[in-house]
């Protein structure tokens, strides 16, 4: 099954590479208007142009500089989006830093938490947890005022959150998942939904160490695994459904309302 997302305005954070780029491309192919964001305005515009000139040609893509840890950057990006399109119908919180930010060899040489530099810990938490809060805090009020909107927060396997050697990535994503649950409850009755989406395994992105051997790299999921579930979450088929935790590797396009909250 597929989705017609024509006229749906989607803001995807951290969408110049990896699963963010894959989701942005999939949404464009289904007719959505997509704001591609990253810390570099030039890179964001370049990726937006590349995506919109592919199979999705004719649909709108805009590239915006957006640092999810910086309130001024968030406000500026949303101001540009408001001026261009009148805002967003869906926010996909995806921007994140991986374990390689504090340990480039985390696959082969996991390090104990006491060896993690405090600056690296703070930077990962600022992006992967506080960034979700800051962007949602800036975007959601307009959705509440309109009485409709969707937030999709990207997360990861629960097992990875408590995996040996995964401080601070695991705790930061666990915090973002708890934040999502509270957001969903705070938004009950407003018309704004909050759902979680995760790949379901290690994914072949820039977060993976460069030196990973062939067999293990071959076992990584492609970023495109996120395409169908994000299309569904942004479509009318998921309207009114909140509190879902969708694993992309297990996703089957539901018939009717067969998906229940986790």
Kind plus residue range of the DSSP H or E element containing 45: helix 41-52
The residue from 169, 170, 172, 230 that is catalytic is 169
- Residue found under tokens 């051997």: 213
3-state secondary structure of 214: helix
Angle in degrees, CA 242, 62, 221, rounded to 5: 55
Q: Are 65 and 71 in contact (CB under 8 A)?
A: no
- Is residue 132 annotated as a catalytic residue, yes or no? no
3-state secondary structure of 203: strand
Q: Are 149 and 191 in contact (CB under 8 A)?
A: yes
Q: What's the CA gap between 19 and 97, in Å, rounded?
A: 13
Catalytic residues: 169
């Amino acid at each position: 099954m597929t989705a017609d997302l024509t006229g749906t305005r989607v803001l995807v954070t951290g969408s110049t590479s990896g699963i963010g780029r894959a989701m942005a491309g999939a949404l464009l192919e289904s007719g959505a208007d997509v704001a591609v964001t990253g810390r570099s305005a030039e890179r964001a515009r370049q990726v937006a142009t590349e995506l919109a000139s592919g199979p999705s040609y004719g649909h709108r893509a805009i590239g915006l500089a957006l640092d999810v840890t910086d309130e001024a950057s968030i406000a500026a990006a949303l101001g540009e989006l408001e001026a261009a399109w009148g805002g967003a119908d869906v926010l996909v919180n995806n921007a994140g830093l991986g374990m390689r930010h504090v340990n480039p060899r985390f696959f082969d040489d996991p390090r104990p938490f006491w060896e993690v530099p405090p600056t690296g810990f703070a930077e990962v938490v600022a992006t992967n947890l506080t960034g979700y809060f800051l962007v949602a805090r800036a975007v959601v009020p307009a959705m509440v005022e309109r009485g409709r909107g969707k937030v999709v927060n990207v997360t990861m396997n629960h097992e990875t959150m408590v995996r040996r050697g995964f401080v601070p990535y695991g705790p930061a994503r666990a915090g973002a998942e708890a934040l999502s649950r509270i957001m969903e409850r705070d938004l009950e009755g407003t018309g704004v939904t909050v759902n979680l989406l995760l790949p379901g395994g290690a994914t072949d992105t820039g977060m993976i160490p460069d030196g990973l051997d062939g067999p293990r790299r071959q076992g990584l999921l492609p970023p495109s695994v996120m395409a169908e579930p994000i299309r569904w979450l942004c479509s009318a088929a998921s309207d009114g459904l909140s509190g879902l935790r969708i694993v992309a590797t297990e996703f089957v396009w539901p018939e009717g309302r067969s998906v229940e909250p986790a």
